[in-house]
């Protein structure tokens, strides 16, 4: 399949690389690195990385605007890190003669001509490294650094279960071959403002914990502006609440004034949460999912369902620590 993907990349002169809405470091790094990898190999091609940009992750590189429509018959779409067509940011599959999906989320629906889905892969970035190793595409220090950061970010510094020996092998390969300065790279990913730390403290102080060991917090838009952060970084803060004895599932609901949605970020160390998330139009991984809801009433309903999920889980797994 890798060879087939390479052939298609070679064939088309216009290549658009897309990823999911609500960008995170993994999808951005995969998208931007893949664009630059293809550009380096085939300089005459027009290669675009599309979608809304995220100020917080500007260091991954710029995204592209497509000014004039591309000729469909000579255009290829590559969608990274996105299991469902509805969540593609900035383009649609129908505008392309051919499409390729490269994803590590649980398989949802087929919407591309070639689908490279590896649910065991830690990250989309890991799959791009694999793609380079198995074809004539080549990494350089710049793209290797970005892919390293994507892997580090999606595994939360190699904490999550889908961090495999293969992940470590690839990371070792990147670090050795390109002599990556790990400390400098980590700083890019983990430097944060005091305001963010203060918001984290606010979440810790105000998280509600149910008797079924669900921890959740609702962060209205005025709170978010009080701390001077944006709603996506507020939501991402949920990653900092791992390994807390009292809770098995934890979620943050942050209101996004611009899009008039409430973003829910959910993490779990027991109950599988993505099935419930997809019932509410969201999705993601088994233990790391997201939803976008349009009212606080829906948020409350979602929380009640999530709590029910925790209750069931604890009944079925009385040994849970």
Smallest distance, Mn ion to C-beta of residue 265, A: 14
Smallest distance, Mn ion to C-beta of residue 306, A: 22
Query: Which parts of 34-63 interact with Mn ion (CB under 5 A)?
Result: none
What does the chain come to in residues? 321
Does 81 interact with Mn ion (rule: CB under 5 A)? yes
125 contacts 99 by C-beta, under 8 angstroms: no
Q: Which regions of 93-235 does DSSP assign to beta strands (E)?
A: 98-103, 114-117, 208-209, 214-219
Smallest distance, Mn ion to C-beta of residue 160, A: 11
* SS3 at position 254: strand
Q: Residue 16 or residue 124: which is nearer to Mn ion going by CB? A: 124
The per-residue DSSP string of 54-88 comes to -GGGGGG-------SPPPGGGEEEEEES-SSGGGB
Does 89 interact with Mn ion (rule: CB under 5 A)? no
Q: Residue 31 or residue 123: which is nearer to Mn ion going by CB? A: 123
198 contacts 232 by C-beta, under 8 angstroms: no
Smallest distance, Mn ion to C-beta of residue 26, A: 4
Smallest distance, Mn ion to C-beta of residue 79, A: 12
List all residues 6 or more positions away from 109 whose beta carbon is below 8 Å from its beta carbon.
83, 84, 85
Q: Mask: binding to Mn ion, 115-144, rule CB under 5 A, as x and -?
A: --------xx--------------------
Q: Whose CA is closest to 273, among 293, 288, 251?
A: 288
Q: Mask: binding to Mn ion, 17-36, rule CB under 5 A, as x and -?
A: ---------x----------
Query: Which phi and psi (to 5°) does residue 209 adopt?
Result: -115, 125
Smallest distance, Mn ion to C-beta of residue 284, A: 9
70, two tokens? 């591309």
Does 154 interact with Mn ion (rule: CB under 5 A)? yes
Query: Which parts of 250-309 interact with Mn ion (CB under 5 A)?
Result: none
Does 230 interact with Mn ion (rule: CB under 5 A)? no
Stretch that binds Mn ion, among 42-50, 110-118, 150-158, 226-234 (CB under 5 A): 150-158
Q: Residue 34 or residue 199: which is nearer to Mn ion going by CB? A: 34
Q: At what angle do helices 141-154 and 25-41 cross, to 10 degrees?
A: 160
Residues that bind Mn ion (CB under 5 A): 26, 81, 123-124, 154
């Amino acid at each position: 399949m890798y060879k087939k993907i390479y052939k298609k990349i070679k064939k088309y002169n216009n290549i658009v690389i897309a990823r999911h809405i609500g960008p995170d470091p993994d999808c951005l790094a995969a998208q931007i690195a893949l664009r630059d990898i293809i550009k380096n190999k085939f300089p005459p091609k027009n290669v675009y990385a599309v979608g809304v940009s995220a100020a917080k992750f500007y260091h991954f590189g710029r995204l592209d605007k497509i000014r004039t429509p591309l000729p469909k018959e000579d255009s290829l779409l590559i969608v990274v890190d996105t299991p469902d067509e509805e969540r593609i940011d900035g383009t649609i599959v129908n505008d392309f003669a051919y499409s390729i999906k490269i994803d590590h989320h649980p398989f949802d629906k087929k919407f591309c001509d070639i689908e490279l889905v590896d649910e065991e892969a830690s990250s989309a970035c890991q799959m791009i490294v694999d793609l380079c190793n198995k074809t004539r595409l080549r990494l350089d220090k710049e793209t290797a650094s970005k892919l390293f950061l994507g892997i580090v970010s999606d595994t939360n510094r190699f904490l999550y279960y889908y961090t495999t020996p293969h992940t470590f092998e690839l990371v070792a390969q990147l670090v050795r071959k390109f002599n990556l300065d790990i400390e400098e790279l980590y700083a890019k990913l983990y430097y944060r403002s005091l305001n963010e730390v203060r918001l984290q403290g606010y979440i810790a102080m105000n998280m509600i914990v149910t008797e079924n060991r669900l921890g959740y917090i609702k962060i209205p838009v005025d709170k978010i502006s009080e701390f001077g952060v944006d709603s996506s970084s507020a939501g991402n803060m949920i990653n900092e609440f791992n390994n807390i004895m009292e809770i098995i599932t934890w979620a943050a609901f942050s209101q996004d004034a611009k899009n008039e949605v409430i973003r829910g970020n959910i993490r779990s160390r027991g109950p599988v949460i993505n099935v419930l998330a997809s019932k509410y139009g969201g999705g993601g991984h088994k233990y790391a999912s997201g939803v976008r809801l349009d009212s606080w009433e829906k948020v409350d309903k979602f929380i009640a369902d999530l709590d029910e999920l925790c209750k069931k889980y604890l009944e079925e797994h009385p040994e849970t620590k």
